[in-house]
Every structure is written in structure tokens, then in C-alpha cells.
Amino acid sequence: MAESVAVEWPRYECRACGYIYEPDKGQPDKGIPAGTPFSALPVDWRCPVCGARKAAFANIGTKKVAGFPENYRYGIGVNMLTPGQKSLLIFGGLALAFLFLMSFYGLK
């Protein structure tokens, strides 16, 4: 059984506004299909948010996912989250639980 290996291209971030160009998503609304690396973008391509030129973008590397690759398929999708997304999920859940417990003070 052969597993498919995903190609990981480096992502580029606009230094002016923080927009991140992700090659695996592309920009289908602008005619740039998914899988188009940053180096293959047209010379006149601009940042879709602020209009900065390609020279204003910096390589920020590939998307990192925490954990071991062989464990990504387990769980309910949580194993594919980035560390920032996991933190948001954990602390958001704690905040929601706190609000839920505080709502009991409103009951009579």
C-alpha cells in the first residue's frame, strides 16, 4: 500500500500587511491554480490585500504541523492543527467553560 506524499512548497509572507501566499491553495479567483509555487507567479503579480510587489514578500518556510507524521490521521482532526490553532482551541474551550459556569449565577 503506497501512501501519497504531499509536496510542501515554501510559503511567502507580505512584509507590508502580513498576507501569506500558500502555494497549495493558490488564488483560483485570480486565475492562479492550487500548486503554483511563488517563483512561478507572474512578474506583475501583486499582494491581493495591499497591492505590494513580489519583492515585498519574504520566505517563511513550509507550514509546520506539530506531532509525528504517522499520527496525523488519528483523532478527530486535531492532529492536523498547527500549535497556534491548538492553543486557540484549548484556551477558547476554557473561556467557554468559564462563561458557562458563570451563567449559573444568573439562575434563580
Q: Can you give the pLDDT at residue 91?
A: 95
Give the pLDDT band (50/70/90) at residue 67.
Answer: low
- Report residue 22 as a C-alpha cell: 500558500
Q: Can you give the pLDDT at residue 62?
A: 80
Q: Decide which of 8 and 13 is more confident.
A: 13
Q: Can you give the pLDDT at residue 90?
A: 92
Q: Decide which of 79 and 61 is more confident.
A: 61
Q: Which among 42, 63, 65 has a CA at the least distance from the CA of 54?
A: 42
Q: Can you give the pLDDT at residue 72?
A: 66
Q: Can you give the pLDDT at residue 3?
A: 43
For residue range 17-40, what is the model confidence (pLDDT) as tens digits?
Answer: 989 998 888 888 888 898 898 999
Q: Can you give the pLDDT at residue 1?
A: 35
3-state secondary structure of 27: strand
Q: Which among 9, 12, 6, 90 has a CA at the least distance from the CA of 47?
A: 12
Q: Which among 80, 85, 84 has a CA at the least distance from the CA of 65?
A: 80
Cell 500500500, residue located: 1
